[in-house]
Amino acid sequence: MHAANRFRWALIVTVLVSVNACTNNDIDPNGSGTGAAPTKGSADFTKYVAVGNSLTSGYADNGLYRDSQLNSYPNILAGQFKTVGGGDFIQPLFSEAQAAGSGYLKLIKVPNPSDPTSLASSLGQVAPAAIRGTSPGSGGPLYTKFTGANQNLGVTGIRTADILSPGYGSSIGNPYFERLLPDQSSTTYFQYASDNLNGATFFTCWLGNNDALGYALGGGVSADNLTSTTLFTTNFTAIMNKLTEGGRKGVVIGIPNIMITPYFTTATDQINALLKVQGLSGLAISSKSAPGGVRMSGSGDYFLLSIASVLTSFIAKGVGLSASNPVPDQYVLDASEVTTLNTRINEFNTIMKTQADAKGLVYVDVNPIFQQLAQTGGYNLNGITYSSTYIQGGVFSLDGIHLTPAGYAMVANEIIKGINAKYSSTIPQVNPANYRRVLLQQ
C-alpha cells in the first residue's frame, strides 16, 4: 500500500513536470519562425563580394559615412549569410575618428508638412571628416584612402558606362573610387573588381541606376547623361562574364522606378498643393519639348527636391508665374523626359534580367515593394508603416534617393527571398524594425 501511494504521487509529479516541459516559450516572436537551422541550399556564401554603386556602398543622406556604410545592404546580407557558412565581410569603412566620412545631411527639426519652405531649415549639414586633399581636376574633395582587400565594391556615382574607363579612379576622377586605389592609378573599376573577386564564392551586382539617374537628377537637361543601351550592354556583359567566372553564383538587382522616390514627389506634391490653394493651374516651366521652350506645368511633370533650397527666393521673385520667368529646366523633369527616362530604364532592366536568367543567377526586381511603398497606406511591417514619403516614410534618406538603414534592410530581404527561391536556401530575413529610419538628431 505504501509503495502504491508513493507511485501515485510520483505519477502526479511526473505528469506536472511533463506538462511544464511541453510548453515551449522560448520561440522568438520576431525570429524566422520555424526554429530550424538555416541552410545554404545550392549556393556557397563562404566569401561574398558586392559590386555596385552608391546604393551598394551604403550611401545615404547625401553622403557616405561610417554609420551608413555599416547599414549597407551588402553588410546586412553578409550578416545573414553567416548563418549559412558565410565568412567575414570587409568594407572600406571610414575610421571611427573620421566617422562623418564625406559629410552628410541630418534632420535637426520636424518640418511643417504644409510649408515647403520649412524643409530647408529642418536640415543641417554634418561636416566631412575624411577629406585628405583637393582634386586637381574638379576642385572637389579627395577622401582618406582605404587599402587592402575589399568585399564591398560599391562606388558612389559609378555608372555601368564607367567600369571600363581607365583613370576613372584617378585624382581627377571619382573620389569615391579614387580612395580605394593607389595614387595616380589608372586601374579600371572592372580590374579592381576582378582583383577583389579572388576566392569569392558569391556576388551581388546592383549597377545601372546611375546610367539613368544623372539624367533625371539634372532635370533631363542633357540626354548625354543617359547611357546608350549599346554601351550598357557591352559593359554589363563584361562584368557579368567576370563575376560568373568558374560558375560563381550570385544576384543581379534591377533598377527601380525612381519616379516614386521623394526626390521627385516631395516638391511636386507640395507645389501642386500650393497652386491648388492659390487657384493656379500650374507654373510656367522651361521645357525643351514645348513650343518656344516654355509651357505650364501639368500632372506628368515633376519638380525636383533640389528646388526646396531655392523655393523661398523663387517665390519672392515670382519665378514660374509668367512665361517670361519660368522655372529653370534643371528643377523640373517634364513628362516627356520622364517617358524617355523610364523607357531607357526598362531597356537596361531587360538587358540585366536576360543576362541573369541566361547565367542561372537570381534577378531581383525591387519595384513591387517600391510600388507598395508608394501606394496609399504604404507597407506595414512588424507594426511600422513604411512609405515613400519624404522624411516620414522611413525608407528614403534625406537626399530623397538613397535609402535609410530600414530601407536597405528591406532591399536585403528582397534579395534573400530571391536567393532562397533560386538556390533552395533558407537564409533568414532581417527585421527592418531593428534598423533606424530617418534620424532626428542635434
Q: Is 275 in the site for other proteins (CB under 8 A)?
A: no
**Closest approach of other proteins to the CB of residue 396, in Å:** 12
Q: Is 3 in the site for other proteins (CB under 8 A)?
A: no
**Closest approach of other proteins to the CB of residue 264, in Å:** 20
Helix 189-196 and helix 229-243: axis angle, to 10°?
A: 20
**Closest approach of other proteins to the CB of residue 388, in Å:** 13
Query: Given the rule CB under 8 A, which of 9-17, 40-48, 246-254, 328-336 is the region that contacts other proteins?
Result: 9-17
Q: Is 338 in the site for other proteins (CB under 8 A)?
A: no
Of residues 6, 109, 276, 317, which one binds other proteins by CB under 8 A?
109
Query: Given the rule CB under 8 A, which of 188-196, 327-335, 351-359, 434-442 is the region that contacts other proteins?
Result: 434-442
Report the C-alpha dihedral over residues 353, 355, 359, 360, rounded to 10 degrees.
Answer: 10
Residues 349-388 close enough to bind other proteins by CB under 8 A: 382-384
Of residues 11, 223, 273, 439, which one binds other proteins by CB under 8 A?
439
x-or-dash string of contact with other proteins, 111-130, rule CB under 8 A: xx---------x--------
Give the helix ranges, DSSP H, for 359-404. Answer: 367-374
Nearer to other proteins, 375 or 382 (CB): 382
**Closest approach of other proteins to the CB of residue 56, in Å:** 23
Distance CA 160, CA 189 (A): 10
Q: Answer whether 96's CB lies under 8 Å from 66's CB.
A: yes
Q: Answer whether 98's CB lies under 8 Å from 129's CB.
A: yes
Q: Long-range CB contacts (< 8 A, 24+ apart) of 413-417?
A: 414/364, 414/366, 414/369, 415/73, 415/77, 415/204, 415/251, 415/253, 415/362, 415/364, 416/77, 416/80
**Closest approach of other proteins to the CB of residue 20, in Å:** 5
Of residues 64, 107, 161, 351, which one binds other proteins by CB under 8 A?
107
Of residues 9, 96, 277, 377, which one binds other proteins by CB under 8 A?
9
Q: Is 35 in the site for other proteins (CB under 8 A)?
A: no
Q: Is 29 in the site for other proteins (CB under 8 A)?
A: yes
Q: Is 25 in the site for other proteins (CB under 8 A)?
A: yes
Distance CA 244, CA 22 (A): 49
Query: Given the rule CB under 8 A, which of 55-63, 80-88, 109-117, 219-227 is the region that contacts other proteins?
Result: 109-117
**Closest approach of other proteins to the CB of residue 154, in Å:** 23
Q: Is 96 in the site for other proteins (CB under 8 A)?
A: no
For every residue of 328-347, DSSP letters joined together read PGGGEE-HHHHHHHHHHHHH
Q: Answer whether 285's CB lies under 8 Å from 322's CB.
A: no
For every residue of 125-149, DSSP letters joined together read EEPPS-EEEE-TTT--EEEPP--S-
Q: Whose CA is closest to 327, among 272, 372, 365, 279? A: 272
Q: Which residues contact 71 (CB under 8 A, 6 or more apart)?
A: 58, 60, 404, 405, 408, 409, 435, 436
Q: Is 4 in the site for other proteins (CB under 8 A)?
A: no
Distance CA 381, CA 390 (A): 18
- Give residues in contact with other proteins (CB under 8 A): 9, 12-13, 16-17, 19-20, 23, 25-31, 107-112, 122, 382-384, 391-394, 433, 436-442
